[in-house]
Amino acid sequence: MRTVASPARGAGPAGANAALGALILLGAEAMYFAGLVSAFIVLRAGVSEWPPPDQPRLPVGVTALSTVVLLLSGYTMARARRAIREGRVDAFARGLAATAALAATFLAMQGVEWARLLREGLRLASGPYGGLFLAVVGSHALHVAVGLAAVLITWIGAYRGRFAADRHGAVTALQLYWSFVVGVWVPIYLLVYLW
């Protein structure tokens, strides 16, 4: 029984490699967000009035909506992966398209809200409020954007027939990444928007 890398991606050793590799990198990513979140907690805990008097409140309601959109994209991505695992390439492609659309919607909603916050006077320099928002929510948005690009590239690959039931290691890695991006948003939303 061989355990070296074989040409088959997806199921089999190479797929296992991709999944394990993704999990390890996501561990590091989780610690990055843990660092940002602990910075948020430390700096927020030292301030009694939050948001500070001259700074706009964060859009809790709209972001609750965009959170739902993001959670939905996690669901569509999971379904897409299950589809390719069962060899259903069309359902796979549709799932990727849905995920991309939902991700883009999330980013658009975030972008609109950020523009509004800036117009309403969100500043980086007067205190940690604006900077924390930029660092934490901005880091997350960057991760969503990178993930969106990966989903689109995978979608193109799906149309070119690159993936099959026994050849989809990259999809497994992508879906793990996407679950992380969706999952890490929940504590961020709870802390940054609701505290």
Q: Which residues contact other proteins by CB under 8 A?
A: 1-7, 13, 16-17, 20-21, 24-25, 27-36, 38-39, 42-43, 46-47, 52, 124-128, 130-132, 134-135, 139
In the block, residue with structure tokens 């959670």? 71
Q: Which is nearer to other proteins, 26 or 83 (CB)?
A: 26
Give the nearest distance from C-beta 61 to other proteins in angstroms.
Answer: 27
Q: Which is nearer to other proteins, 27 or 108 (CB)?
A: 27
Burial class (CB in 10 A: 0-12, 13-18, 19+), 103: buried
Cis amide bond preceding 51, omega within 30: yes
Give the nearest distance from C-beta 172 to other proteins in angstroms.
Answer: 13
Q: Which is nearer to other proteins, 109 or 143 (CB)?
A: 143
Give the nearest distance from C-beta 90 to other proteins in angstroms.
Answer: 29
Which of 61, 191, 195 has its CA nearest to residue 137? 191
Amino acid of residue 52 = P
Q: How far, in whole angstroms, is CA 76 from its chain's centroid?
A: 13
Q: Which is nearer to other proteins, 102 or 141 (CB)?
A: 141
Give the nearest distance from C-beta 167 to other proteins in angstroms.
Answer: 13
Which of 110, 109, 98 has its CA nearest to residue 154? 98
